[in-house]
Amino acid sequence: MTAAPGTDAESPGDLMSDAALLRSMVQVEAAWLDALVQAELAPGLDHDDLDGHLLGLLGDEDADAVLGEALEDRPVLNLVALLRSRTDAGTAAWLHQGLAQQDVLDTALVLAVRDVLHHVVEQVKEQVTTLTALAERHAVTPMTARGAETATTTTFGAVSVVWLDSIIDAADLVVDARSLLPAQLGGPSGTLASLTEIARLRGEADPLSAAADVVSDAAERLGLREHRSWH
């Protein structure tokens, strides 16, 4: 679930489309369900691949149905209702339990941003390859260096290496940013209150710790950094 779906054929616009956002929302719901099952807080679920199961419930037209009037119709609730209507009773009962709409939408947007950053990194790798070859090919090709005015002789290879260094520095920043992307998983008020209550009803000796473990597990499944809720 942590692998970015971006390919060379996709553009950042494709990765931030309604269809891509819908897939990311489903990934969040699936990761949360998986974490609930792992913590034994969601009895009755027996799917080995919840991510694949939930994604398989969606059709090409569903992005418009769920997100078409996003600002007015609460897209997360639209999605949850759609998935519940198409899945089994056990999955439907536990879907979205303990989550807030903001959790799903915010974390889905973070996943979409991560996919864009992945795309940028792949493009930068191509530039690094091109500039490396250029620097090697023109290692001794002379050219006039320039500052504010014409300077002494340098080589085009040396200039290419300077460009290459700048590209690599920028790539490092993008990779660092990608690794720091957080998950937003705090429940309706950001305090994990509803999930803690679920854990208490399931007989957990320390319900708050059990709830916190679910958050950690779900964030890890999504490949995001655990972070205090920003409600």
Question: Quick one: tokens of 121?
Answer: 């990194």
pLDDT mean over 181-189: 94
Q: Which amino acid is at 188?
A: P
Q: What is the pLDDT of residues 27-81, one digit of tens each?
A: 999 999 999 999 999 987 877 788 899 999 988 788 877 877 554 568 999 999 9
Residue 150 tokens, joined: 């014409």
Q: What is the pLDDT of residue 230?
A: 78
Check whether 101 has a pLDDT greater than 80: yes
- The mean of the pLDDT values for the chain is 89
Q: Please give the model's pTM, rounded to 2 decimal places.
A: 0.84
From residue 144, give the alpha-carbon distance in Å to each of 135, 160, 187. Answer: 16, 14, 62
Which pLDDT does position 7 carry in this prediction?
44
Report the pLDDT averaged over residues 158-177.
Answer: 94
Residues 6+ apart with CB under 8 A from 138: 155, 156, 157, 160
What CATH class is the domain 12-222?
Answer: mainly alpha
The single-letter code of the amino acid at 198 is I
Per-residue tokens: 133: 């070859």
CB 108 within 8 A of CB 19: no
Local structure of 41: helix, strand or coil:
coil
Confidence of residue 3 (pLDDT cuts 50, 70, 90): very low
150 bridge partner residues: 146
Within the chain, residue ranges assigned H as helices are 12-15, 18-38, 50-55, 62-67, 70-73, 75-86, 89-94, 101-137, 156-179, 193-201, 207-222
Tell me the domain boundaries of the chain: 12-222
The alpha carbons of the chain give a radius of gyration, in whole angstroms, of: 23
**Residues in the chain, overall count:** 231
Contacts of 92 (CB under 8 A, 6+ apart): 83, 84, 85
**Per-residue pLDDT, 116:** 93
